[in-house]
Copies of this chain bind each other. A is one copy, B any other.
Amino acid sequence: MEPAFRGSGSLVRAAILAVGSELLGSSRIDTNSLWLTARLETLGGEVVRKACVGDDAGAIAEELRHAARQAALVLVTGGLGPTADDRTREALAEFSGGRLALDTALLSSLRDRFARRGIPMPPINEKQALVLEGSEPLVNPRGSAPGIWFERDGVVVACLPGVPSEMKGMFDELVSPRLEARHGSAPRRRRILKIAAMGESAVEERVGPVYEKWKGHGFTILASIGEVQLHLLATGTEAEATAILDAQTADFERALPGRIFGRDDETLEAVVGEMLRTGGATVATAESCTGGLIAQRLTDVPGSSDYFRGGLVAYANDVKAAWLGVRETTLGAKGAVSEETALEMAEGARTRFRCDYAVSSTGVAGPGGGTPEKPVGTVWIAVAGKGARARLLRPPGDRAMIRGWTCAAALEMLRETLKDN
């Protein structure tokens, strides 16, 4: 445990409770708690336990009692919806001994929400305007389920919806400021460094000496498809912590020259988008094996219409030829999965979408379609700009992993090209 937490001199003990019978089955798992744990860490909190319980008010209340004995902060997710099996509200009332009363202001804000979508509010949603005596409703700008902030005997219980996007937004906008006001601000700073299209072990090998140099500092390495994240954590005043993080970042950058594409919440598609916007440049995509994934990631970014003109998913060979101008002779002699086809796809897209840049993918995503010469996982990507270049990939894993990795590698190749220009 690092020393931390201004004010009390110790970390705030936190418990997380995920509500939902579906989380007790054999297929779904609570992942909200991972995100909440990372956020709590930066706020000087420490998760000491977490639990999942079904949609049963008595059982939830029992879990609240237990959690409140173990922790000073209990974060609850789920069970705030309008349906009969959403029981967190009732459970909190049972736990606190308080009453639920209709909040007319909340009710009318719920009605407004439905009215804006042009539909009448279903009667069952009225339940979501019930507020526990002595608690504070937390308005949910992204959904109908309001959250709850409740304090008693030095224990805070904060209830948030289970839908990840709603939960995250409400934590950052409503819960985090209340926790900071209560406990002072975070003595721990986290920084995430992101690397695309490089394997976890390859990153690990290169950064070994940096780990060694900063021994005693806890680094975490986290891999997802096509992306590796290095999590840095430093303690001290803001200035001290930032100085440590900056020195560590410089060492990681030397170990991975040019490969750290962004930090913290930055995504690869947003970084690439910002480079295009800054350069006043436009881009298009020509995808085969990724089937629209590259275009989808580029357009995930708000405002991407400023630089993204369009994309083609050219699945059938005659579509590659007719829509992108890939030559029949290339397809015949080299095949759809080849350096030449990838290059002609990228060049065709750049010319025909009238863009500055275009990126292409063509490969065998599997599980079928592999041959001895081009087994599943054989992928070519290309970027066309002032010139054009292609790269052979051999991503590991199943169809989803091959597509995901290819997409990350294509965006990373585009980033490299933009950086060099």
Contact = CB atoms under 8 A, between A and B. Distances in A.
A111 B290 CA distance: 28
B319 A353 contact: yes
B70 A47 contact: no
Contact of A82 (B62, B117, B201): B201
A299 B55 CA distance: 36
Interface stretch (A255-263, A326-334, A390-398): A390-398
A308 B299 contact: no
Interface in A383-421: 394, 396-401, 403
Copies of this chain present in the complex amount to 2
A124 interface: yes
A273 to B, nearest CB: 12
Contacts of A396: 117, 142-143
A255 B70 CA distance: 45
Interface in A339-395: 353, 366-369, 375, 377, 394
Nearest to A204: B83
Contact of A302 (B27, B37, B366, B375): B366
A285 interface: yes
B200 A83 contact: yes
A294 interface: yes
A261 to B, nearest CB: 18
B299 A315 contact: yes
Given A26-B34, A124-B201, A142 B311 contact: no
A310 B314 contact: yes
A20 to B, nearest CB: 8
A344 B69 CA distance: 62
Contacts of A181: none
A253 interface: no
Interface string A79-93: 001111100000000
Interface string A206-236: 0000010000001111110000000100000
A24 interface: yes
A53 B63 contact: no
B62 A70 contact: yes
B291 A296 contact: yes
B313 A398 contact: no
28 contacts: A21-B218, A24-B48, A25-B47, A25-B190, A27-B34, A27-B222, A27-B231, A49-B63, A50-B51, A55-B220, A82-B200, A82-B204, A85-B219, A85-B220, A142-B398, A165-B397, A169-B398, A287-B292, A291-B308, A292-B295, A292-B311, A299-B315, A302-B367, A304-B315, A310-B312, A310-B314, A310-B315, A313-B313
